[in-house]
Amino acid sequence: MLARGTEMLANALVAHSAVPAFATYNLEMVQAVTAAAEQTDRPVIMLAGASHFHHAGRSALISLALQAAHTSTAPVGVHLDHSRDLAEIEECTKAGYSSVMVDGSHLPFEDNIALTRAAVAIARPAGVWVEAELGAVSGDEDVSTDATPPQTMTHPVEAAEFVERTGVDALAVAVGNVHGLTSTPMYLDLQRLAAIQSAVPIPLVLHGASGLPHQQLSAAIDCGVAKVNINTELRQAYLAVVQKVLPEVLSTHDSVVLRRAGREAVTNAAVRSIHALTGNL
C-alpha cells in the first residue's frame, strides 16, 4: 500500500528506530525494495528521485515506483529525492508521490528558504509531506567516490529558524555525514545533532550513512533521526552478484538469470538495512 503522511516517521521516533529510504534505478531495484518491505513487514520509503530519473526516465520510474507501492502488502512511501526543480516537484506531487525532498542546500540561507517555501506551497495542498536540507552533505549520491567531510554543517539556531519559516515536515542535516564511501572512517558530530534535535520539532533525516559504525548510526537515531537514506549498499550488492554470475551466463546469453540474481542480492541487502535500523521491532 502507498504510505502517505508522516505517521511512519512519527512512529519511528517513538520506537527509537528509523525508516530506511532506498534508492531505486530500475525495475529490479523497485521490486527488490518492495520485496524487502514485505519480507520484514516493515514500512520503507522508495527513493525514485531526480538523479534516478537520468537512468530510467522520469515517467517510467514514477510509474514503476507508484505501481509497486500501491500493490505491495507492506507500507511503502514513494519519495522524490534531491530535487531542485519546482516543476519536477509539481509533476511528482500530481502523479501521487507521498513525499518530496527539495534540495536548496547549495543556495544561500535566504534563497534556500524561498525555494523550500515554494515547494511546500506546491506539495502541502496535495497531502504530500516535504523534506528539505540545510547544510551541505558532500559527495555524490549515485557514485561512491572518496568524499571529503562537509565544509558547511547544519547550525542548530539556523535549523530552528529554517523549520519555522518554511514549515517543512522533515529536515536533512549535515553533521559529518557524506554521500558514498570514504577511505577513512567518518564520524558524526553527535553533539551538534543532539542540539539540532532540541532546536527543531520535526524528524531529522540522515543522508550518506554508508560505512558508518553501528554505534554511530544508533546514536544518530537516538538524536532524532527518523529516516536514513540508503544507496551504496544496494549498488554494492548488485554489482557483486553481477561480477559473480556474469561468467556463468555469458555462454548462454541468459540475461534474465543475471537480473534475477541482482534483484535477489538487492533484496537481501535491503532486508539487512531494515533490521539494522529497526532492531527487534
Q: How confident is the model at residue 181 (pLDDT cuts 50, 70, 90)?
A: low
Q: What is the CATH number of the domain that holds 220?
A: 3.20.20.70
Q: What is the overall mean pLDDT for the chain?
A: 91
Mean pLDDT, range 194-214, rounded to an integer: 91
pLDDT at 56: 86
Residue 2 lies in a domain: no
More reliable by pLDDT, 274 or 152: 274
21 pairs with which residues across the strands?
A: 45, 229
Report the C-alpha gap between 39 and 103 in whole angstroms: 32
271 neighbors 39 (Cβ within 8 angstroms) = yes
Predicted confidence band at 269 (pLDDT cuts at 50, 70, 90)?
very high
214-254, pLDDT tens digit by residue? 889 999 999 999 999 999 899 999 999 999 999 989 988 89
- pLDDT for the residue 87: 97
Higher pLDDT, 54 or 223: 223
**Cα 242–chain centre separation:** 24
Residue 118 has a pLDDT of: 98
19-45 confidence digits (pLDDT tens): 999 999 999 999 999 999 999 999 999
pLDDT score for 176: 86
Would you call 81 a catalytic residue per the annotation? yes
Residue 1 covered by a domain: no
Asked whether residue 273 is domain-assigned, the answer is: yes
> What pLDDT is stored for residue 223 in this prediction?
96
Q: Torsion-angle region of residue 139: left (phi > 0), alpha (psi -120 to 50) or beta?
A: left
Whether 191 maps to a domain, the answer reads: yes
pTM for the structure as a whole: 0.92
Yes or no: say if 226 and 19 are a contact pair by the CB < 8 Å rule. Answer: yes
Task: Tell me if 219 is assigned to some domain.
Answer: yes
Choosing from 81, 142, 169, 189, which is the catalytic residue?
Answer: 81
Q: What is the rounded distance in angstroms from the CA atom of residue 77 to the CA atom of residue 9?
A: 11
Q: Which percentage of the chain shows pLDDT scores above 90?
A: 80
Under a CB-based contact definition with an 8 Å cutoff, are residues 120 and 167 in contact? yes
Each residue of 111-146: pLDDT tens digit? 999 999 999 999 999 999 999 999 876 544 544 455
- Please check whether residue 17 lies inside any domain of the structure: yes
* DSSP codes, 189-249: -HHHHHHHHHH-SS-EEE---TT--HHHHHHHHHTTEEEEEE-HHHHHHHHHHHHHHHHHH
For residue 144, the enclosing domain spans 7-278
Higher local confidence (pLDDT), 192 or 178: 192
Whether residue 33 lies inside any domain: the answer is yes
Which one has a higher pLDDT value, 187 or 143? 187
Between the CA of residue 234 and those of 27, 43, 110, 132, 268, what are the distances in Å? 14, 17, 35, 24, 9
Looking at residue 149, what DSSP letter applies?
A: P
Average pLDDT estimate for 176-188: 68
Domain count, the chain: 1
Q: When comparing pLDDT for 281 and 171, which is higher?
A: 171
